[in-house]
Amino acid sequence: MEIKKMKPYIQTIGFSPEKNPMERMIRRILFLLLLCSPAITAAQSVFMPDSLEGALSKKQIFEPVYFRIGQSMIDPDFKGNRGRLSRFVLSLQQILADSNYVVSRVVVTGMASPEGAQERNLQLASDRAKALSNYILQNTILSADRIKVINGGENWNGLRAMIETSHMRYRSEMLRLMDRYPDDRDARKHAMQYWAESEAWKWMYQYFFPSLRMSAGYLELSALNRENRNRTRQSVLASDIESGCCPVLLEKVDRISDPVEKEYQQPCILLPRISLKTDLMLWGGVMPGFKMGTWTPNLSAEIYFGRHWSGQAGYAYSNWNTFTSSKELYALSAAELEVRSWLGKTSWLQGFYLGLYGTYGEYDVQLGVQGQTGSFWAAGIGAGYMQPLSMHWGLEIQVRSGYRSVRNNQYDIEQEHYYFARRETKGLFSPQVRLQLVYRFGKQKKD
């Protein structure tokens, strides 16, 4: 079926059937077209500027492409862009090759998040729209006159929609400030950015702004709106088409009606309760004081309480040869406790922290014909940073500085016999670097 045959069908939707053979024939063709036409994919809703909101009432196939901060070059490996670009181009290619579809146009809009200078953001939005437009032209047979490029500028409407559907802290204050300065962008941004020592702005910067740095491509297709759907249903019911076909036709009419917009899903935040972690430095044999030992399995558990506090307990153990020789022994058994204070203003317990730690352990080290065995304790302070890698996984780096007291017994080894040599107790400065892989358990919450 050619595209041009679709136009009379679209124009006659909603007219009551006439009682003459010609109109009956047209009516039958209309119903057959409804029966054979595939359902058009419902579009996802997106936060568009005001000039684009009307387009959402039409049938669309929509895919967003996200950009790194300050960039207008499409990165297929960023935030799942490769999959969305492939789906959009494949859908467009299939529709262009299918005469059952009528392509109204492809609309490409570029947007920017509101941080930074307005002039720079407008240029970024324009460049992002052009980048996606060029990508579509390069990967489809679509001509340039079928693409409409729109500079969406700073996506304040999108930011407002995200705030309204969220449970973020200072939500009502952010909305009030947006209403207070509807026409003064700089005053609005300044007031929002520095409210409550920038806590709300920093939160939005991390969780909202990345979704605003985008270029959206959507494909408009001819479809039935709600009014025409109701009229068409009435025409089907009033027709003389065989009764067995009516349910199928009515279902087909409903399937190509208005798209159902999906509510924006705010990113979830993990409120941690407990975590398990292991120190990669000990696995690599790097001991406190930066001395080399052997690979040392270790496990720690951290429990979080309050908004800014946690306590950690851990254990490490080794009893086998050193890295350098199969005849050298490095045995260690150590336990530790640490109390931490998290410095962030949120209850997510990530970012920078300070800690007080204490360690007790026993050891036995045999290097050639001499050995050392004894016990030790250590105490000190530490500072670190916890970087989330995903909802549950994280990487933690910590620098420690403390005092270490060692009660050491030296002995000589002769033909597998051990002879006590001397005993000493000494104290020393003991720096340490820890690199821990963390898995957190907790409650997911929209915050």
DSSP three-state, residue 143: coil
Mean pLDDT of 211-229: 62
Q: Which of 81-95, 126-140, 185-199, 236-250 has the lowest mean pLDDT?
A: 236-250
- Residue with more model confidence, 264 or 115: 115
Gap between the Cα atoms of 441 and 419, Å rounded:
50
Q: What is the pLDDT of residues 314-344, one digit of tens each?
A: 999 999 888 877 778 899 999 999 999 998 7
Specify the pTM.
0.44
233 falls in which pLDDT band (50, 70, 90)?
Answer: low
* N-terminal to C-terminal alpha carbon distance within the chain: 52
Evaluated on CA atoms 109, 134, 95, 105, the torsion sign reads: positive
Mean pLDDT of 289-296: 88
24 falls in which pLDDT band (50, 70, 90)?
Answer: low
39 falls in which pLDDT band (50, 70, 90)?
Answer: very low
Average pLDDT score over the chain: 77
Can you read off the two tokens belonging to residue 202? Answer: 């920093």
Gap between the Cα atoms of 138 and 133, Å rounded:
9
Gap between the Cα atoms of 178 and 193, Å rounded:
11
CB-based contact 418:372 (threshold 8 Å): no
Gap between the Cα atoms of 53 and 60, Å rounded:
12
